[in-house]
């Protein structure tokens, strides 16, 4: 009797006996079927906070944390007449994040004209249609029309993938911008266009962090993108403290101390990150500061990551790019500095451009081997390409209208107007902080932020502990509920033990909201005075 016949006979003679159901190539017993059925009806979710990647759970990103969530809820409550009448403020001021156009910074006209033509290229197809040509030329400056045509030749369509590294013609223009800025040549093949500087940071740290034993020197206070990304990678942030007393400058002694301590504990420190001008501090580094960092990188064979997205936001002193200073040092002592690897990042999100939502940026590699560059290219290729419309905006940022061109006068007026408004508002907020009891603040040097120290009364510190919060978290939460002004506690950026700060942008229009902070602070200090 064949095996098949035997099985069939057994099934007929023993109907209650467990039979075999063939599913694919795996036999499943009847006795298991009820168990599987019951499992399909379980109410337990497949994914919980306990079984997700715990590196995601451990990552923190304070600028979009608890306070930001509450501020959005308050913004919704203000739209509800019943809820709004119980709130002691007329609007929510999102001073927690550098998001210029959310806070009424107007986009630059030339940039948006070109982008709109790129998004709707049929507007450029008016040959033989005099009426359409006249209508388009009435709406768009002639150099905006010409730039849109040039960019379309470079990218084909903003709805199509570009080369993974970014459109070559745009990278050539970025290289020319860097050359004109620094006085040293730049190679388009060493430039990678990105979806904002953040994606560039992620790419670079992913490449550098070879094992969970890798360490990256991070300035404290720092922008939490760095520690959050390192948490996802399972690598070690190695903090080095900026010197508040000297305008948040770098201290080479402090950096080297942190570096040596980390190495002694077995951490493989491979890179140093520098943010210039600083976030959250707003400080612009001097040339001597930068030389000191480059010298340290050369001495310890560290990769230099220079986050320079605020390079046009400088109010005190001037911006010095790391590449320019490195090239100068290499010219003076080629053997000593020839091996230094530098990557510098820039973005359309900050400065006077303020186009955060378009997600455009770039990084330039200096001193990396072709083999490593090839691996970075492979990594970014996994994500196909950065947004092409963002790439085009990078082109506009590095190649704005020139004097004598039709759009130049309006561009210059808008650009300078944004700069002066930011500088004026920064000084007004700085002066307000100077009047507040128990608050100390460095004069704004650049970027979009102020990072004042607040000396909280001991009673306030105790009250925060009772509510299970850090003292500056508690202060900022109370500030938000009383004034509608959302800032970020210093603990979200890192600070020395026993010190308290908060970061505020100076992007929001007007200064009335600053008065709200002053009033709240005075009442808060009286409430908890010792």
326 class by beta-carbon count within 10 Å (0-12 exposed, 13-18 middle, 19+ buried)? buried
* Tokens describing residue 530: 């010792």
In this predicted model, what pLDDT tens digit does every residue of 31-76 receive, in sequence order? 555 555 555 566 778 777 777 677 777 776 655 677 888 888 888 9
State whether CATH 3.90.1150.10 applies to domain 63-103+416-527. Answer: yes
pLDDT for 187 equals 95
With b for 16 or more beta-carbon neighbours within 10 A and e for fewer, the 453-492 pattern comes to bbebbeebbebbeeeebbbbbbbbbbbbebbbbbbbbbbb
> Which residues touch 193 (CB under 8 Å, ≥6 apart)?
162, 165, 166, 167, 170, 171, 174, 360, 361, 362, 386, 390, 391, 394
Q: Which 3 state secondary structure label does DSSP give 304? A: strand
Q: What angle do CA 101, 104, 109 make, to 5 degrees?
A: 70
Burial bucket for residue 433 (CB in 10 Å: 0-12, 13-18, 19+) = buried
The pLDDT of residue 175 is 97
Could you tell me the two tokens for 81?
A: 């007449």
The answer to whether the beta carbons of residues 393 and 355 sit under 8 Å apart is: yes
Strand order in the sheet with 214-220: 191-194, 361-366, 342-347, 303-307, 268-275, 214-220, 236-241
Distance between CA atoms of 303 and 205, rounded to whole angstroms?
A: 11
Q: Counting Cβ atoms within 10 Å, is residue 151 exposed (0-12), middle (13-18) or buried (19+)?
A: buried
What DSSP assignment string belongs to 315-383?
-SS----HHHHHHHHHHH-HHHHTT--EEEEEESSSTTT--GGG--EEEEEES--HHHHHHHHHHHHTT
pLDDT of residue 469: 87
Strand partners, 192: 363
Residue extent(s) of CATH 3.40.640.10 domains in the chain: 161-398
Instruction: List, in order, residues 6 or more apart from 15 with CB less than 8 Å away.
Output: none
Distances (CA, A) of 527 to 388, 440, 458, 463, 488: 53, 20, 12, 11, 22
Please name every residue paired with 313 in a beta bridge, in sequence order, or none if there are none.
none
Cα separation, 20 vs 41, whole angstroms: 23
- For CATH 1.10.287, list the domain ranges present in the chain: 108-160
Which of 167, 113, 172, 162 lies closest to 142, judged by CA? 113
- Three-state secondary structure along 410-458? HHHHHHHHHHHHHHHHHHHHHHHHHHCCCEECCCCCECCEECCEECCCH
At 39 the pLDDT is 55
Distance CA 237, CA 383 (A): 26
* Residue whose token pair is 């730049």: 186
* Spans in the chain with pLDDT lower than 50: 1-26, 28
Q: Please give the distance of CA 126 from its chain centroid, rounded to a whole number.
A: 40
Domain 108-160 carries which CATH code?
1.10.287
Q: How far is CA 38 from the centre of its chain?
A: 46
Q: Among candidates 313, 312, 325, 222, which has minimal Cα distance to 275?
A: 222
pLDDT at res. 35: 58
Residues 6+ apart with CB under 8 A from 447: 98, 277, 278, 279, 281, 282, 310, 313, 350
For residue 270, the cross-strand partners are none
Q: How far is residue 75's CA from residue 84's CA, in Å, rounded to a whole number?
A: 9
- Supply the pTM of this predicted model: 0.82
Could you write out the three-class secondary structure of 454-489?
ECCCHHHHHHHHHCCCCHHHHHHHHHHHHHCEECEE
DSSP characters over 53-65: -HHHHH---GGGS
Euclidean distance between CA atoms 243 and 168, whole angstroms: 41
The phi, psi pair for 314, rounded to 5°, reads -125, 125
Residues 258, 250: Cα–Cα separation, whole Å? 13
Tokens of 466: 């009772």
Class of domain 161-398: alpha beta
Give 149-205 pLDDT, tens digit per residue: 999 999 989 888 888 899 999 999 999 999 999 999 999 999 999 998 888 998 999
């Amino acid at each position: 009797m064949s095996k098949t016949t035997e099985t069939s006979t057994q099934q007929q003679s023993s109907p209650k006996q467990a039979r075999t159901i063939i599913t694919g190539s795996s036999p499943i017993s009847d006795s298991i079927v009820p168990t599987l059925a019951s499992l399909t009806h379980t109410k337990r979710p497949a994914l919980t906070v306990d079984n997700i990647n715990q590196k995601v759970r451990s990552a923190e990103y304070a600028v979009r944390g608890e306070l930001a969530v509450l501020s959005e809820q308050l913004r919704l409550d203000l739209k509800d007449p019943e809820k709004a009448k119980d709130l002691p403020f007329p609007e929510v001021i999102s001073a927690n994040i550098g998001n210029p156009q959310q806070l009424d910074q107007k986009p630059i006209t030339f940039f948006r004209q070109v982008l709109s033509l790129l998004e709707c290229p049929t507007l450029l197809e008016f040959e033989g249609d005099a009426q359409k040509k006249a209508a388009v030329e009435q709406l768009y400056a002639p150099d905006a029309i010409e730039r849109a045509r040039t960019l379309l030749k470079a990218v084909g369509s903003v709805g199509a993938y570009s080369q993974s590294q970014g459109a070559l013609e745009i990278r050539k223009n970025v290289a020319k911008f860097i050359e004109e800025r620094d006085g040293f040549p730049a190679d388009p093949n060493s430039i990678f266009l990105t979806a904002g500087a953040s994606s560039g940071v992620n790419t670079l740290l992913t490449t550098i962090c070879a094992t969970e034993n890798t360490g990256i020197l991070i300035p404290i206070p720092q922008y939490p993108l760095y520690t959050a990304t390192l948490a996802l990678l399972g690598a070690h942030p190695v903090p080095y403290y900026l010197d508040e007393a000297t305008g948040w400058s770098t201290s080479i002694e402090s950096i080297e101390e942190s570096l040596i301590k980390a190495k002694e504990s077995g951490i493989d420190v491979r890179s140093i990150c520098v943010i210039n001008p600083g976030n959250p501090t707003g400080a612009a580094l001097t040339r001597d500061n930068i030389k000191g960092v480059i010298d340290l990188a050369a001495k310890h064979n560290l990769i230099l990551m220079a986050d320079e997205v605020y390079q046009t936001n400088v109010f005190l002193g001037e911006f010095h790019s790391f590449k320019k200073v490195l090239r100068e040092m290499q010219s003076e002592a080629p053997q000593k500095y020839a091996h230094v690897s530098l990557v510098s990042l820039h973005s359309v999100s900050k400065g006077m451009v303020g186009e955060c939502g378009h997600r455009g940026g770039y990084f330039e590699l200096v001193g990396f081997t072709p083999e490593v560059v090839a691996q970075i290219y492979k990594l970014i290729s996994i994500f196909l390409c950065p947004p092409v419309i963002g790439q085009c905006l990078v082109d506009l940022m590095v190649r704005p209208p020139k004097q004598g061109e039709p759009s130049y006068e309006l561009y210059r007026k808008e650009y300078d107007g944004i700069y002066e408004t930011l500088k004026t508002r920064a000084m007004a907020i700085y002066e307000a902080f100077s009047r507040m009891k128990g608050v100390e603040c460095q004069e704004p040097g650049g970027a979009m932020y102020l990072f004042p120290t607040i000396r909280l009364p001991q009673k306030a510190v105790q009250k925060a502990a009772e509510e299970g919060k850090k003292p500056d978290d508690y202060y900022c939460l109370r500030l938000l509920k009383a004034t509608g002004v959302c800032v970020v506690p210093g603990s979200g950026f890192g600070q020395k033990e026993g010190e308290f700060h908060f970061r505020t942008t100076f992007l929001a229009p007007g200064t009335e909201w600053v008065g709200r902070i002053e009033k709240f602070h005075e009442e808060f200090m009286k409430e908890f005075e010792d």
